[in-house]
Chains A and B, each alone.
Chain A
Amino acid sequence: MSPEVSLREAYGHALVEMGKENPDIVVLDADLSKSTMTQYFAKEFPGRFFDCGIAEQNMMGIAAGLAASGKIPFASSFAVFVPGRCFDQIRMSIAYSRFNVKLVVTHGGISVGEDGVSNQSVEDLSLICSLPGLTVIVPADAIEAVQAVKAVAAYEGPCYVRLCRPKLPLVNDNDYHFNLGRAVTMRQGKDVTIIAIGTMVVAALEAANGLQQEGIDCGVLNMSTLKPLDEAAIIQVATSCGAIVTAEEHLEHGGLGSIVAQVVARHRPVPMEFVAIKDTYAESGKAGELLQKYGLTAKDIKQAVHTVLKRKLSASAT
């Protein structure tokens, strides 16, 4: 297993690097700069850093105002406090008004751990993907996180990038190149493809390796850009494999699984299974314990693959 690297740390340092190159980059936080790692930018460029205090809704408006006069604002907080607490502010002042605001959130999913439900974010992707005009990205490791952050800085329009709290093993090489709006084929497979995002990409790769031992040829697609969605990549694996499993650290409702299922249902109906949090809140615990209890491990993905393959087989038998 490759070394584990923090996506938040990578984000914090990337901000400093970008800040040196582009004086229009400004950063906002809501009293969480030591957790979102915007603190490095704050130290380097105090005049371009705005701590808005514990007032996220106001931060959204200030970010929009800065963007309106040509700045490129990066506004950060925990995932749960951004689309959840600020939905209407993002909708009116950022998405509908089409301002060039970059929302980079940390602590997505339940791997937040011991802080429990109030700090865990299981609905954010459903909420944010519902807003017309927003670009949504969920990087799978620190390498992709840095590139995604740079890509959204270069892109004109409102963006949402979701990072997680724990360090993650690297799943990409240093020569990896992130393409906004393009799914990444991590592994080709002809029996079934796992489409995963964020923390679940590494679990999907582990599952695919294990399934290979059982003689199942399993592909893995990293759908890091959730919006705009790479529909062609989904249709392609639906066609070539005839079975899909999605995996995400998010509620089953409204996230990756729902979004992929819509494309599959319309263009190429094939059996699907969904590895996600079932209609429930999680609880306090260690990240690993939570992922296990709420069914978000490589083992759960393997089980889902077996289930979907059974359905695929019975469908072809009839």
Chain B
Amino acid sequence: MPESGEGLKANLNIASGAKPLSVKDMEAIARKIRCHIIAMTGKAGSGHPGGSLSAVEIVTALYFGLLRHNPKDPHWPDRDRFILSKGHAAPLLYAALAECGYFPVEELSTLRQINSRLQGHTDRILTPGVEVSTGSLGQGLSFAVGVALAGRLNLQAYRVYVLLGDGECDEGQVWEAAMAASHFKVDNLVAIVDNNGLQIDGWNRDVMNLEPFNKKWQAFGWQVIDVDGNNLSELISAFNQAKSVKGQPTVVIAHTIKGKGVSFMENKVDFHGTAPTPAEVEIALKGLE
């Protein structure tokens, strides 16, 4: 199905010009998003910086490189969908949405405060650009399968991207959905696993071993692509490669570093669900300059 003129226009909205953003431009945006995550969670005094930072490149590549969407019309029916199944990475999604223009960047400082549109975990009704309320893990992939099926039924060309945590894959529902996606042959669906290796109680391999992870997805009938999940070029090429996969869904296993970009947070499980102190915010922001 050809891209609609409207779709192209929407894409240009994001690219702010005829040319798509260069990887270098996207790196700059990724840095900005990291700063937002630190500032937001620092101000809120709670939240999940670690798993937000690990997936910054994934979300940046999608919102600033891949997705056809229109911040002025969040419900545009032909938009590509991004579904944040790991709802605790809400600060990351909010930062990206604000940078796209879904709502003012200044609003990011209201995260987790009373009467804010930016809830601790995503809320579809309150926040423009959020596709489904998440925060109870394991549910986003099922939702994404439904959205993908609707696109096929409606003869719409949109693509569906859903971001899962690796720890989230402990949930049985993820594998119910994985089975259904391949059974229904939804090839307009791409799952991305933020494979940072850590969950609240420790390393995945110690808490609940997921290995052989790739083989599991393969056995469930998925096309599997492994990438360095903190490398924008690799991500973009994986997402483009997924477009040519027919008759089966694709999963991008994005090998990432939890807390990526902030030296004292990298690979530290303590920053899964703990906000940086004001002093740590200062150090982190300096490091990101």
Contact = CB atoms under 8 A, between A and B. Distances in A.
Contacts of A58: 142, 145, 173, 176-177, 180
A240 to B, nearest CB: 41
A93 interface: yes
Interface stretch (B50-58, B150-158, B200-208, B274-282): B150-158
Contact of B146 (A53, A63, A88, A96): A63
A59 B135 CA distance: 18
Interface string A50-87: 10110101111111111111110100000000000000
Interface in A90-110: 91-93, 96-99
A59 B124 CA distance: 20
B148 A65 contact: yes
A215 interface: no
A65 B149 contact: yes
A3 interface: no
B153 A71 contact: yes
Nearest to A73: B146
Contacts of B133: 92-93, 96-97
Contacts of B154: 69-70
A26 B142 contact: no
B139 to A, nearest CB: 5
Contacts of B141: 61
B10 to A, nearest CB: 17
Contact of B147 (A52, A55, A69, A97): A69
B118 interface: no
Given A88-B136, A92-B133, A64 B150 contact: no
A232 B276 CA distance: 53
A181 B80 CA distance: 37
B77 A64 contact: no
Contacts of B184: 50
B149 A66 contact: yes
Contacts of A253: none
Interface in B1-48: none
B267 interface: no
Contacts, number: 106
B143 interface: yes
Interface footprint category on B: 20 to 34
B136 A92 contact: yes
Interface string B121-149: 00111000001111110011111111111
A311 interface: no
A73 B153 CA distance: 13
Given A61-B139, A65-B145, A93-B142, A55 B176 contact: yes
Nearest to B130: A97
A120 interface: no
Nearest to B177: A58
Contacts of B146: 61-69, 73
A191 B140 CA distance: 54
Nearest to B123: A96
27 contacts: A53-B180, A57-B173, A57-B176, A58-B142, A58-B145, A60-B142, A61-B140, A61-B141, A61-B145, A61-B146, A62-B142, A62-B145, A62-B146, A65-B145, A68-B131, A68-B132, A68-B150, A70-B77, A71-B153, A73-B146, A89-B142, A89-B173, A92-B134, A92-B139, A93-B133, A93-B142, A96-B133
Give 6 nearest A-B pairs by CB, closest first.
A65-B146, A61-B142, A69-B150, A58-B176, A62-B146, A55-B176
Interface of B: 77, 123-125, 131-136, 139-151, 153-154, 156, 172-173, 176-177, 179-180, 183-184
